[in-house]
Structure 1
Amino acid sequence: MNQAVASAPHRNARLVRLLTELAMIEEDWPHKDFADRLGQMLSFADSIVLADAHKVKPERGFVVVTDSCEDLKQAVLHTKIKLVNGVIQSCAGAADRPKIRWPDLEETASEIPFERYHRFYLSHQRDQDLALRVVRSSAREALTGCTPALKKLAVLDRALEDTLWDQTYRMLALIPRLLQRRFNLLQQQAQPGWLQRFRKDVQALLLAELDLRLQPVLGLVEALEREVSRKS
Structure 2
Amino acid sequence: MSQATTHFAAASPRLLRYLAELGLARPEVSRQHFTRRLGALFDLQDSIAIAAVHGGLGKPGPAALPATDVTSLFLAGRGAILRSAARAFDPDGGARIRFPGLDPADPAARATSMEVEPYLGFYRAQQSDAEHRVRRLQLQVREASAGRSAQLDQLCALDAVLARSMSARTRGFFSAIPRLLQTHFETLRASYRPQGTDEAEAAALWQQTLQRYRLDMRGMLLAEIETRLLPVTGLVEAVEAHQMKETHD
Counting only pairs closer than 5 Å after superposition, residues 88-127 of structure 1 correspond to structure 2 as 88-94=86-92, 96-107=93-104, 109-112=110-113, 113-127=115-129
- Amino acid in structure 1 at the alignment position of 2:178: P
Task: Give the structure 2 partner of residue 23 of structure 1.
Answer: 23
Tell me what 1:222 maps to.
237
Deviation at 1:92, TM superposition (A): 2.2
| Deviation of the 1:162 alpha carbon | 2.6
Indicate how the Cα distance of structure 1 residues 225 and 168 shifts in structure 2: closer, same or farther if over 3 A, else same: same
Deviation at 1:104, TM superposition (A): 1.0
Distance 1:134 1:145 in 2: 19
Shift of residue 212 of structure 1? 0.6
Q: In the alignment, is the contact (CA less than 8 A) between 1:144 and 1:150 conserved in 2?
A: yes
Letter in 1 for 2:231: P
Aligned-partner Cα distance in 1 for 2:164–2:181? 27
Task: Give 2:210's aligned residue.
Answer: 195
| Residue correspondence of structure 1 range 143-162 to structure 2 within 5 A | 143-162=145-164
1: CA distance, partners of 2:65 / 2:144: 9
Instruction: Tell me which moved more, 161-170 or 195-204.
Output: 161-170
Q: Taking CA–CA contacts closer than 8 Å with sequence separation of 6 or more, which of the two structures ends up with the larger relative contact order?
A: 1
* 1:132-170 residue CA offsets vs partner (Å, 9 max, x unmatched): 111111222123221111000011112222334543331
Task: With the length of structure 2 as denominator, give the TM-score of the two structures.
Answer: 0.70
Identity rate, percent: 28
Q: Aligned partner of 1:120: which letter?
A: F
> In 2 relative to 1, CA 33–201 (structure 1 residues): closer, same or farther, beyond 3 Å?
farther
Aligned partners of 1:107 and 1:194 also within 8 Å: no
The aligned residue for residue 47 of structure 1 is: none
Indicate the SS of the match to 2:180. Answer: helix
Inter-partner Cα distance in structure 1 for 2:176 and 2:128 = 14
Match of 2:201 in 1: none
CA separation of 1:119/1:169 partners in 2, compared to 1, >3 Å: closer, same or farther? same
Q: CA RMSD in A?
A: 2.9
8 Å contact kept, 1:90–1:100: yes
TM-score between the two structures when normalised by the length of structure 1:
0.75
CA contact (8 A) 2:64 2:145 kept: yes
Cα distance, 1:71–1:190 mapped onto 2, change above 3 Å: same
Report the CA distance shift for 1:33/1:200 in structure 2 as closer, same or farther (over 3 A): farther
CA distance in 2, matches of 1:91, 1:97: 10
Q: Which has the larger radius of gyration?
A: 2
Q: Call closer, same or farther: CA 1:143–1:22 in 2, change over 3 Å.
A: same
Superposition deviation, residue 28 in structure 1: 10
Stretches of structure 2 lacking an aligned partner (at least 5 in a row): 1-10, 39-55, 194-204
Aligned residues: 200
- Residue 64 of structure 1 contacts residue 147 of structure 1 at CA under 8 Å; is this kept in 2? no
Correspondence 1:1-12 to 2 at 5 A: 12=12
What displacement does 1:210 show?
1.0
Contact 2:57/2:153 (CA < 8 Å) preserved in 1? no
Measured in 1, the distance between the counterparts of 2:57 and 2:187 equals 60
Please give the alpha-carbon distance, in whole angstroms, between the structure 2 residues aligned to 1:58 and 1:217.
21
Contact 1:67-1:228 within 8 A present in 2 as well:
no
2:214 equivalent to 1:212: no
